[in-house]
Amino acid sequence: MRVLIIDDQASLLDSMRFFLEQRKCKVYTALTGKEGLKTAFRERPSLVILDLKLPDMDGQIILKKLRNDMPATQVIIVTAFQDMENTINCIKLGAFDFIHKPIDINEIDSALNRFDKINRARTHQDPPQKQGVAAPSDGKTPYIVGKSQPMKEVFKKIAMVSDSKVTVLIQGESGTGKEVIARTIHYQGAWKNHPFMVVDCSTLVDTLTESQLFGYEKGAFTGADVTRKGTLELAGEGTIFFDEIGEMPLRLQSKLLRFLHEKEFIRVGGSKVLQSDARILAATNLDLAKMASNGRLRSDLFYRLRVVTIYVPPLRDRRSDISLLANYFLKKIGHKHQMPIKTITSGARQLLESYAWPGNVRELENSLIRAAVLTKSPVLTREDILNAISETGVDAVQEPSEKTLAEVEKEHILQVLKIKQGHLGKACRTLGISRPTLRKKLNQYGYK
pLDDT-based confidence at residue 127 (cuts at 50, 70, 90): very low
Neighbours of 89 (CB within 10 A): 23
- pLDDT tops 90 at residue 89: no
Quote the CATH superfamily of domain 149-311: P-loop containing nucleotide triphosphate hydrolases (3.40.50.300)
pLDDT-based confidence at residue 124 (cuts at 50, 70, 90): very low
- pLDDT tops 80 at residue 146: yes
Q: Of 74, 70, 124, nearest to 97 (Cα)? A: 74
Per the CB < 8 A criterion, the answer to whether 244 and 201 are in contact is: yes
**Rg of the chain on CA atoms, in Å:** 25
CATH of region 2-121? 3.40.50.2300
- pLDDT tops 70 at residue 137: no
Cβ-proximal residues to 373 (8 Å cutoff; 6+ apart), any chain: 333, 337, 339
Architecture of the domain defined by 319-390: Orthogonal Bundle (1.10)
405-445 has the same fold as 319-390 = no
% of the chain surpassing 70 pLDDT: 88
SS3 243: strand
pLDDT-wise least confident of 25-39, 78-92, 300-314? 78-92
Per the CB < 8 A criterion, the answer to whether 389 and 366 are in contact is: no
User: Which one has a higher pLDDT value, 378 or 205?
Assistant: 378
Cβ-proximal residues to 249 (8 Å cutoff; 6+ apart), any chain: 204, 206, 209
Cα–Cα distance for residue pair 418/420, rounded to 1 Å: 5
Domain ranges of the chain: 2-121, 149-311, 319-390, 405-445
Cβ-proximal residues to 266 (8 Å cutoff; 6+ apart), any chain: 214, 272, 273, 274
pLDDT-based confidence at residue 81 (cuts at 50, 70, 90): low
Neighbours of 440 (CB within 10 A): 17
Q: Of 260, 255, 183, 246, nearest to 213 (Cα)? A: 255
Q: Of 429, 412, 416, 414, nearest to 369 (Cα)? A: 429
Q: What is the fold, at CATH topology level, of the domain defined by 405-445? A: Arc Repressor Mutant, subunit A (1.10.10)
The model carries a pTM of 0.70
The residue-averaged pLDDT of 83-98 equals 84
